[in-house]
Copies of this chain bind each other. A is one copy, B any other.
Amino acid sequence: MSQKSPVDNPPFAGERMSDTGLDADYNLLVDLLDGAIGLDDITDIHPADFSDQFEQLTPEQRERLITGAPQIISPDILSYLEDEVVEDILPLLPSDQLAQAISELDNDDATQIIEEMEDEQREEILGALPSADRAQLEASLKFEDETIGRLMQREFVASPEFWTVGSTIDHMRATGEDLPEIFFNVYVVDPTFKPLGYVNLSRLMRAPRAMLLSELMEPLLAKIPQEMDQEEAAYLFQKYSLISAPVVDASGRLVGMMTVDDIIEIIQTENTEDILALAGVSDAGLTDTAATVFKARAPWLFVNLLTAILASIVIAQFDYAINQIVALAVLMPIVASMGGNAGTQALTVAVRALSERDLTPQNAWRAVRREAVAALLIGIVFAVALAIIAYVWFGDTRLAGVAFVAMIINHVFAGLAGILVPLGLKRFGADPAVSSSVFVTTVTDVIGFFSFLGFAAMVLL
């Protein structure tokens, strides 16, 4: 989604915003469905607020609303709605309204809507568009999902380096309509349309009219290839505090631009993916039914069942020990649980550091060493605590000793697994957030039970 055009009938949004923005405790669209207010009462809602409220409705409420008045879904609202909601409502919208919306929106927003359509509807809508618009959209759709070619805006402003400030401004005034809705930089290009630098509008505007763009331009900090993954592009924006960046094709020619507002969406999507992956959830949305929740969560729970059985098999090897000393069954979950949590802590820190690129091949060895030392330190402290508890509870020095040793061992394994597993996954090209948790908790469960029960069998029996 690129910077939005203003609403057609812009209200002064200040007052209303505090109601519908931060403290959303009522929903105008529900009032509308109830007949308490009319269509006229919602014309001055900002598309972003409308979208938020619309997303809060049940699928049935959405259908009723659209069937009654499809025109309330303006082009801007479509670009603000979450992809899953767009996918749901597209079949409900009249084709002519959709074709109109697609041709009004900037290319990047239009692409996001087109890609949610069923093949048949997409063909119909593309066929109804002016051929220039269609060609642009088809060019975007040729790129993989989550690549810049798919996400970028194909409208941008470029000028040759021998133009002056004055001629550039005059040219923009004359072009008017065909420029992007909003832009921040003018890209300076060579005769083969390769970008040479950029001029921020706030500098262009301050510069003397006679100044050449080649004198005013600043170097480009990033030229983004069309094939680049969105995550890499987001990293470049963050790193260099970019507001917009030129996108180039394989021969280095300028073909589009990315702007920071789209990047924020990408950053949030990637963050959500990471945070959910760490908890073993493959996908989540508020439009989910219980069945899709099941599909998103069952796979990792299934893997966890297998690893829990593995841990149980370890316990079963020592059933004779538990049979003689039931205190072992009482204490063993503490060792496993502490290890599991310590491992998860180390893992989460490592995954975050990898995604922020603070943890690199350069400093990995130092990070592993520090993790090992910290784990030993943590292990000793909590081993002492557990030993005291075991002694006070069961009055058995040797049992306390077993708990002490097992706790230290499990913490060290937990810390090492917490950092080595994500580093290893990354090395082999896998996403460290996705499957690390399973590996790490398997290690801490198995090592936790094995070391505690194994030592107990050796020492106490």
Residues of A near any B CB (own CB < 8 A): 1-4, 6, 10-14, 17, 21-22, 24-27, 46, 48, 52, 55-56, 58, 169, 172-173, 175-176, 179-180, 182-184, 200-208, 218-223, 232, 235-243, 260-261, 263-265, 267-268, 271-272, 274-276, 278-281, 284-286, 288-291, 293-294, 297-298, 300-302, 304-305, 308-309, 311-312, 315-316, 319, 322-323, 326-327, 329-334, 336-338, 341-342, 344-345, 347-349, 352-353, 356-363, 366-367, 370-371, 373-374, 377-378, 381-382, 385-386, 389, 441, 445, 449
Is A297 touching B345 in the complex (CB atoms < 8 A)? yes
24 contacts between A and B (CB under 8 A): A13-B221, A14-B219, A21-B239, A24-B362, A48-B221, A182-B202, A184-B201, A184-B243, A201-B201, A275-B275, A275-B278, A279-B347, A284-B349, A284-B353, A290-B374, A293-B370, A301-B338, A308-B333, A308-B334, A311-B337, A312-B333, A323-B323, A333-B336, A337-B445
Query: What is the minimal beta-carbon distance from A327 to any residue of chain B, in angstroms?
Result: 8
Asked, given contacts A293-B370, A378-B294, whether A348 binds B184 with beta carbons under 8 Å apart, the answer is: no
Smallest CB-CB A-B distances: 7 pairs: A279-B348, A293-B374, A329-B329, A201-B201, A290-B373, A290-B374, A308-B334
Is A275 touching B274 in the complex (CB atoms < 8 A)? yes
Query: What is the minimal beta-carbon distance from A287 to any residue of chain B, in angstroms?
Result: 10
CA distance A223 to B18 in the complex (A): 10
Is A362 touching B322 in the complex (CB atoms < 8 A)? no
Is A377 touching B241 in the complex (CB atoms < 8 A)? no
CA distance A78 to B4 in the complex (A): 34
CA distance A76 to B91 in the complex (A): 51
The chain B residue sitting closest to A6, CB to CB, is: B218
Contact of A24 among B261, B263, B265, B360 (CB under 8 A): B360
CA distance A240 to B16 in the complex (A): 14
Asked, given contacts A219-B10, A220-B13, A370-B289, whether A301 binds B342 with beta carbons under 8 Å apart, the answer is: yes
Query: What is the minimal beta-carbon distance from A19 to any residue of chain B, in angstroms?
Result: 13
Contact of A309 among B56, B312, B334, B344 (CB under 8 A): B334
CA distance A291 to B206 in the complex (A): 52
Contact of A25 among B25, B179, B278, B362 (CB under 8 A): B362
Is B330 touching A316 in the complex (CB atoms < 8 A)? yes
Asked, given contacts A24-B357, A201-B205, A344-B279, whether A56 binds B362 with beta carbons under 8 Å apart, the answer is: yes
Is B294 touching A13 in the complex (CB atoms < 8 A)? no
CA distance A27 to B36 in the complex (A): 65
Asked, given contacts A278-B275, A315-B330, whether A56 binds B363 with beta carbons under 8 Å apart, the answer is: yes
CA distance A275 to B432 in the complex (A): 14
CA distance A37 to B14 in the complex (A): 56
The chain B residue sitting closest to A55, CB to CB, is: B358
Query: What is the minimal beta-carbon distance from A123 to any residue of chain B, in angstroms?
Result: 30
Contact of A58 among B3, B279, B366, B377 (CB under 8 A): B366
The chain B residue sitting closest to A196, CB to CB, is: B12
Query: What is the minimal beta-carbon distance from A21 to any residue of chain B, in angstroms?
Result: 7
Asked, given contacts A222-B17, A275-B274, A275-B278, whether A290 binds B377 with beta carbons under 8 Å apart, the answer is: yes
CA distance A17 to B245 in the complex (A): 14
Asked, given contacts A172-B205, A294-B377, A357-B24, whether A338 binds B304 with beta carbons under 8 Å apart, the answer is: yes
Asked, given contacts A206-B179, A260-B243, A352-B284, whether A300 binds B345 with beta carbons under 8 Å apart, the answer is: yes
The chain B residue sitting closest to A373, CB to CB, is: B290
Asked, given contacts A297-B342, A300-B345, A329-B329, whether A52 binds B239 with beta carbons under 8 Å apart, the answer is: yes
CA distance A331 to B180 in the complex (A): 63
Asked, given contacts A1-B241, A319-B329, A329-B329, whether A312 binds B334 with beta carbons under 8 Å apart, the answer is: yes
Is B319 touching A205 in the complex (CB atoms < 8 A)? no
CA distance A267 to B361 in the complex (A): 26
CA distance A313 to B356 in the complex (A): 41
Interface centre among A22, A311, A367 (most CB of B within 10 A): A22
CA distance A232 to B322 in the complex (A): 54
Asked, given contacts A300-B341, A345-B280, whether A238 binds B219 with beta carbons under 8 Å apart, the answer is: no
Query: What is the minimal beta-carbon distance from A168 to any residue of chain B, in angstroms?
Result: 9
Supply 18 further A-B pairs (C-beta < 8 A) apart from A58-B366, A172-B206, A311-B334: A10-B219, A24-B357, A27-B362, A52-B239, A172-B205, A180-B202, A184-B201, A201-B205, A242-B261, A243-B261, A272-B356, A286-B358, A286-B363, A290-B374, A294-B381, A297-B342, A301-B345, A333-B333
